[in-house]
Amino acid sequence: MPKPMATALEAVRQSLWVIPVLAVAVALLAAEAMVGISTQVSPGWVPFVFSGGPDGAQALLQAIAGSVITVAGVTFSITIIALQLTSTQFSPRVLRSFIRDRANQSVFATFLATFVYTLVVLGSVRTGSDGQEPYVPILAVAGALALTLVSIAMLAFFIHHVAHMIQVTEITRRVSVETLEALRREWPDETPPREAVPSSDADEVVLPAHQGRVPRVRGARSAGPPRRGSRRGHPPPSGTRAVDLGRQAARVGVAAGRV
């Protein structure tokens, strides 16, 4: 891939606005489509969707639009403040990781899409005060309710995701993954070196497949004379231990009649 194109793709990947903009465009098209389909649907066909009148539909859509945009603004403002404090304490890469994280972009896109969709549907509701026939796009209103439920679920996921992102182990994992990705882009034919683990010939070194923490080693014993042919595990030195790709997670030795 040419370097200018790779640079442009990396800039797009690090942008927080790309996925939300696409989501807003999709929401506009979906709202217009749902309003058009609602004109062909009789309210008696789907009584469980929305049974209120034009005034009730307007009040509902106004409440959805106002609450969604307010929650999005407050949530992301508080999150940015928390990330700034975390970045000053640990690493400035935290903010960069937050911006380029696909989950965060998807949550932001969901909030904006719900807001724009609700506004478009709200504009299609007619109360009859201007001499026109009252009209409520029931399927479009039902779509706004569905998006509201999705936004609530995404909000709960976002809070959990951010709380996980600012943990020290997650910060170090993201930094190491980004470093390995940068090395692979610069030297695609090279294999990143793994940590040299000193061990005897009879030892079996356990390397982790994923990054995280090792709470315990099942069947490990750190004291007592081993029996001939038995396997002796060396667990982490204390409680839990953070491990990275390519670094020793545990070491298992085969006893041969001597310690």
Average pLDDT over residues 225-248: 49
Give dist(CA 134, CA 31) in Å, integer: 19
Among 52-56, 66-70, 171-175, 199-203, name the one with the lowest average pLDDT. Answer: 199-203
Cβ-contact 221, 252 below 8 angstroms: no
What six digits make up the tokens of 224? 């007592």
Give dist(CA 147, CA 155) in Å, integer: 12
Is the pLDDT reported for residue 239 higher than 50? Answer: no
What six digits make up the tokens of 61? 């859509």
Pairing relationship of beta strands 250-254 and 241-243 according to DSSP bridges: unpaired
**What CA–CA distances, in Å, run from 26 to 23, 153, 159?**
5, 20, 25
Radius of gyration of the chain measured on its C-alpha atoms: 28
Is the pLDDT reported for residue 26 higher than 70? Answer: yes
Is the pLDDT reported for residue 166 higher than 80? Answer: yes
* Residue the block writes with tokens 């990781």: 97
Q: Whose CA is closest to 61, among 5, 110, 105, 116? A: 116
Q: Residue 220 half-sphere exposure, CB side, CA atoms within 13 Å?
A: 16
pLDDT (0 to 100) of residue 43:
62
Cβ-contact 140, 124 below 8 angstroms: yes
Cβ-contact 110, 68 below 8 angstroms: no
